[in-house]
Amino acid sequence: MSTIAEKFGREDWSRFTFKQRMQRYAAFALSALLLAWALGSIDVIWVWVWDAPEQMGDLLGRMYPPDPSNLGAILRVLLETVNIATFATALGVVVSLPVAYLAAQNTTPNRATLWLGRLILVTSRSVNTIIWALLFVAIFGPGVVAGILAIMFRSIGFIGKLLGEAIEEIDKRPVEALEATGASRFKVIVYAIIPQVMPTFWAVAILRWDINLRESTVLGLVGAGGIGIILQGAIDTFNWPEAAMVLLAILALVVLGEVVSAFLRRRIL
Amino acid sequence: MLKITDLVKRYGKGDPVLKNLDLTIEGESVVSIIGSSGAGKSTLLRCINRLVEPTSGSIVLNGTELTTLQGRELRAARRKIGMVFQSFNLVDRLTVMENVQSGRLGYISTWAAVMRRYPKKDIRRAFELMERVGIAHYADKRADELSGGERQRVGVVRALMQDPEILLADEPTASLDPKTSEQIMGLLRDLAGELKLPVLINIHNVNEAKIYTDRIVGMRYGRIIFDDKPDSLDQEAMDQIYSGSPHADRSTDMKEAS
């Protein structure tokens, strides 16, 4: 009895043809070249890189022990940071609802509104929170208002985009059923679309609050309120023990935010 | 009375899916439409409540021409046409009561709808109908907790809440097991009698059509080639209805067809 290989005369097989293999090598070489060129063009001062461990030790030495004498002020500003994040998230969620409605292909009234919705989303997301903050500090002056607006503007794009995608993925059969009952457009949205995107809505809102908590800790660096102001002050005056204390406080806040959002996710979703 | 005259529907530039179709339904009869997949049964039903836009022709329900209605008038006309769907089309995350009350959306104010403050008489009516079909004890359950047969009962009650003048059912039993399927068909027949309501049912199961309906309409790729009492549906008529090919049937001359 002959083996199958003998019968069919085939025992060679390779995933790629010779030409494909060469193309893959070429792509690989090109990528390596690109990386090497990128590294060469950014002008790294290698001496500073090599003595980084020493510098790090030096900095930690100066930071230790953290100085809790200003803890009262730090905690007060930390609370302000949480408030900025929470308030901005709430505002962002409210504003992003109509934007999501416009940006979803299956709910937007017409092509012009679709593009308007998308434009708002792209604008919001393509500008970093810190840049938004710089802009709003220039308009409203330094302080909490600029911080809230900056976080909110960045959140609209994020929430609106994810919510818009959730709207596009709903089961449209209930929508058809409610249209058949003679319900108006708005009622169809309330009864058939909103219930279906509710889980996504909560998940996205909680996730964004979590992210906003972290983002609001750096707003102070550009004068837009929150804990960053104290951190900036401590670093500028070489008050390293206090800077260490602020960093520890931020770490505690982020961990706390993680715990709270995990809890909310379990309870609501 | 529902009177359909010379109805044509084509999607895009393709062959027409409905070809110069005429159909009249009078009184409270239960009428079934049979035919192979793609014969145009679903399209015909959806033309009546304008979920599908007819290309030409006329559909008159109790004196109202449906094909030309727009906006508010169209919604007012849709309230009078109940529809039951193959896959039930309930909103899974809402309760049974909310799903049932969504049949009243065309009647109540937006505020009442959003706040779920339904009129007392609507709630009473809902419980009556739910009691009638045996789902009243599920009122506060979420729709996705129910079995297929129970979900279709919710679908039927939602349609009846509209206080319709006609009930359309698009393969209402195709997603159900044989036993449940017969229960739903029996229910539709009985309700038609009790509420003096004409019912138009698309159905694949010819046996059920014979047992539960008063009149059978046979469609073959865009036209009606059989329309008579269930007893008259013999093997020859069955072979006629379930033969033919979509393209050959649809592209032949339209006038000759009717």
pLDDT of residue B13: 82
Predicted confidence (pLDDT) per residue in B107-147, tens digit: 998 999 999 999 999 999 999 889 888 888 998 899 999 98
Decide if B167 contacts B197 (C-beta within 8 A): yes
Query: Is A240 a residue whose pLDDT tops 50?
Result: yes
Direct distance between the N- and C-terminal alpha carbons of chain B, in angstroms, rounded to an integer? 22
pLDDT of residue B254: 47
Query: Is B100 a residue whose pLDDT tops 90?
Result: yes
Query: Is A126 a residue whose pLDDT tops 60?
Result: yes
**DSSP H helices in chain A:** 4-8, 18-41, 46-50, 52-63, 71-103, 111-126, 129-140, 144-168, 173-180, 185-188, 194-216, 228-236, 240-268
Query: Measured between CB atoms, which of B78, B89, B110 is closest to A182?
Result: B78
Q: In what order do the strands lie in the sheet with B2-10?
A: B16-25, B2-10, B56-61, B64-65
pLDDT of residue B27: 79
Residues of B in contact with A177 (CB under 8 A): 83, 85, 89-90, 155, 158
pLDDT of residue B257: 43
Higher pLDDT, B13 or A22: A22
Q: Where are the beta strands (DSSP E) in B35-150?
A: 56-61, 64-65, 81-84
Query: Is A174 a residue whose pLDDT tops 90?
Result: yes
Nearest 10 degrees: Cα torsion B244, B249, B255, B258: 40
Query: Is B256 a residue whose pLDDT tops 50?
Result: no
Query: Is A212 a residue whose pLDDT tops 70?
Result: yes
pLDDT of residue B104: 92
Closest-CA distance, B231 to chain A, in angstroms, reads: 33
pLDDT of residue A2: 65
Interface contact A202, partner B, CB < 8 A: no
Angle, CA of A100, B94 and A165, to the nearest 5°: 20
Closest CA to B228 of B209, B213, B215: B215
Predicted confidence (pLDDT) per residue in B25-39, tens digit: 887 889 999 888 888
Q: Tokens 């021409």, residue?
A: B65
Average pLDDT over residues A124-146: 90
Going by pLDDT thresholds of 50, 70 and 90, the confidence category of residue B102 is very high
Cβ distance of B78 and A181 shorter than 8 Å: yes
Exposure string for B231-243, b = 16+ CB within 10 A, e = fewer: eebeeeeeeebee
For B47, nearest residue in chain A (alpha carbons): A180
pLDDT of residue A148: 92
Query: Measured between CB atoms, which of B77, B106, B155 is closest to A183?
Result: B106
Measured CA to CA, the distance from residue B62 to residue A257 in angstroms comes to 62
Predicted confidence (pLDDT) per residue in B153-174, tens digit: 999 999 999 999 999 999 998 8
Interface contact A109, partner B, CB < 8 A: no
Looking at the DSSP bridge assignments, the partners of residue B170 are B202
- 0.95 surpassed by pTM: no
Closest-CA distance, B64 to chain A, in angstroms, reads: 15
Instruction: Write out the two tokens for A94.
Output: 């409210």
Predicted confidence (pLDDT) per residue in B169-186, tens digit: 999 988 888 888 888 899
pLDDT of residue A217: 86
Residues of B in contact with A178 (CB under 8 A): 91, 102, 105
Predicted confidence (pLDDT) per residue in B189-242, tens digit: 998 888 889 999 999 888 888 888 999 998 888 888 888 888 888 888 888 888
B6 sits in which H/E element: strand B2-10
Going by pLDDT thresholds of 50, 70 and 90, the confidence category of residue A94 is very high
pLDDT of residue A178: 93
Measured CA to CA, the distance from residue B258 to residue B248 in angstroms comes to 16
Average pLDDT over residues A24-44: 92
Q: Which domains does chain A have, with CATH numbers?
A: 70-268 (1.10.3720.10)
Measured CB to CB, residues of chain B less than 8 Å from chain A are 49, 51, 74-83, 85, 87, 89-94, 98, 102-106, 110, 113-114, 155, 158-159, 162
Cβ distance of A180 and B49 shorter than 8 Å: yes
Average pLDDT over residues B49-71: 89
Average pLDDT over residues A200-210: 90
Query: Is A20 a residue whose pLDDT tops 70?
Result: yes
